[in-house]
Amino acid sequence: MDLSGKVAVVTGSGRGLGLAYATELARRGASVVVNDVEAAVADAAVASITQAGGTAVAEVVPVGSSEAAQALVDRAVSEFGRLDVLVNNAGILRDTTVWKMTDEQFDAVITTHLRGTFTCTRAAVVRMREQGEGGRVICVGSPTGQVGNFGQTNYAAAKAGIVGMVRTWAMELARAEITVNAIVPVAATAMTETVPFLKPYVDALQAGEPLPAFARQELGFGSPEDAAGLVAFLASDAAAGITGQAVGIGGDRLALWSHPSEVVVEFADGTGWSADAIAEVWPKAFQGSLQTVGQQLPEPPK
């Protein structure tokens, strides 16, 4: 999986999953623009990549605005002459229930995740289309965006919206041979270390202990490095025929998420559906197929 000659921008790559993605892309030969809002964090990430033999520079800017997006693309072009891969990873959390969530908490998450993914992708694909050699856009979703999660109105909306944009962009950019995919990672990061049922596994990883098979396979939970191979694959020529997909990764688990689709269909007899008619047909045709919300996680072994 040789990415030599490729140039990648990875947003939010100073630490955690983003750093793992940037490190793996550089290890495979890509030149990488690392991004973070803290200069010291970004510089440390660049140092770790270059000390391992990779090529990287830092661009310190908060993702969200069009200006920030253009700065990232411009830095890739000025330093390395082109742009081939964009990984939209930058994100924040502002968790609280809907009745307590403020406008500021909602807007902050939407701006970074959803608007940031849009502005960075727009700037990147303008450059990729000008180059005329295709490209790769990899966006980061979440299980929360797929099935919801208590206390994460803003985050769920942003991540669901990202996957929706991915499907649209895959169609719009097909002629330019730019693939667009979403990954749905689960790993030990600052975003997951506060989840109570994951804490024992986070603690184990931090202590350098191996995770049990239940965590790595049934929960699909592991280190950030466990998720990085998928990004390198989707960035490579081997993934040229893959676009518009949402792919889950975590621990030892690799999964393809389905697109939303109708699960039950009934037809009226030409008069449409009245409320009474729906009430009559619902228990017989629909009730047994209602969809769950939230992640349906297995119980750990006793």
Q: What are phi and psi of 139, to 5 degrees?
A: -105, 155
Residue 155 a catalytic site member:
yes
Number of separate helices (H) and strands (E) present in the chain? 11, 8
One-letter amino acid of 252: D
Among 13, 142, 223, 236, which one carries the catalytic annotation?
142
Joined together, the tokens standing for residue 163 give 């996957």
User: What is the Cα–Cα distance from 119 to 138, expressed in whole angstroms?
Assistant: 14
Residue 159 a catalytic site member:
yes
Taking the C-alpha atoms of 162, 163, 164 and 168 in order, what is their torsion angle to the nearest 10 degrees? 100
CA-nearest of 46, 9, 49, 58 to 27 is: 49
Distances (CA, A) of 83 to 124, 137, 166, 178, 266: 7, 11, 19, 12, 49
Among 159, 201, 223, 236, which one carries the catalytic annotation?
159
Joined together, the tokens standing for residue 4 give 């030599």
User: What is the Cα–Cα distance from 184 to 178, expressed in whole angstroms?
Assistant: 20
Among 13, 31, 155, 223, which one carries the catalytic annotation?
155
Residue 142 a catalytic site member:
yes
Active-site positions read 142, 155, 159
